[in-house]
Chains A and B, each alone.
Chain A
Amino acid sequence: GDSVTQMEGPVTLSEEAFLTINCTYTATGYPSLFWYVQYPGEGLQLLLKATKADDKGSNKGFEATYRKETTSFHLEKGSVQVSDSAVYFCALSDPGTGGFKTIFGAGTRLFVKA
């Protein structure tokens, strides 16, 4: 079945460091891919998405490129801030499964130190 695998955390970085959080997926169809973020004390919210191969999603300085050849959707940011400290979830929605079930990875906790 469909699945999402993302790097284990926690990830601890200093402010202004470069961030990469790896995400790979398996899917029967051609899924849409998402990154959701959960800030402390808040609900999950969509960070960015990409709906087809080679699309790049971007928001708040974060980027992720849909790589069909490597089945990956790695999250990157060039210079993190303390306010980026949160849990990040990679997710997919696959039309091969009817498109009604979004599957999430285990989440990666990011700590950014001042």
Chain B
Amino acid sequence: GAGVSQSPSNKVTEKGKDVELRCDPISGHTALYWYRQSLGQGLEFLIYFQGNSAPDKSGLPSDRFSAERTGGSVSTLTIQRTQQEDSAVYLCASSQNRGTNEKLFFGSGTQLSVL
């Protein structure tokens, strides 16, 4: 596609429910990243994919968070048993290759609100 697409753009859920957030990266981009942006905070790294594998899961806040990527393309971030502190904007980014000089292309994010 023309850019990184995330869905839904907004999600309101009740505490304790599970949610799935989807990211469709730019076609041909091998690297995919998930970040979390809380109100007044910077971007918190969650997980990185190179192809379908996730060599770095160190940023996932707890075992309630998981992510997968299939076909080297679409990725899903799943949050189980959501808590109020999970409320944030979840951003997805992709880059053509893995590398320190690579420019990240960001989606518009999913605003998650846990009531």
Are B33 and A102 within 8 A (Cβ)?
A: yes
Which residues of chain A have C-beta atoms less than 8 A from B96's C-beta? none
Tell me the minimal C-beta distance from A77 to chain B in angstroms.
20
Known A101-B45, A106-B41; judge A43-B4 contact (CB<8 A).
yes
Known A49-B101, A100-B55, A100-B56; judge A43-B106 contact (CB<8 A).
yes
Which residues of chain A have C-beta atoms less than 8 A from B93's C-beta? 44
Interface residues of A (CB under 8 A from B): 4, 31-32, 36, 42-46, 49, 51, 89, 91, 93-95, 98-107
Contact indicator per residue, chain B 96-113, by CB within 8 Å of chain A (1) or not (0): 001111111111110000
Report which of B4, B42, B103 forms a contact with A104, defined as CB distance below 8 A: B42
Tell me the minimal C-beta distance from B88 to chain A in angstroms.
14
> Can you list 19 A-B contacts (CB < 8 A)?
A32-B101, A43-B106, A43-B108, A49-B101, A49-B103, A51-B100, A89-B43, A93-B102, A98-B55, A98-B56, A99-B98, A100-B50, A101-B33, A102-B33, A102-B104, A105-B42, A106-B41, A107-B42, A107-B43
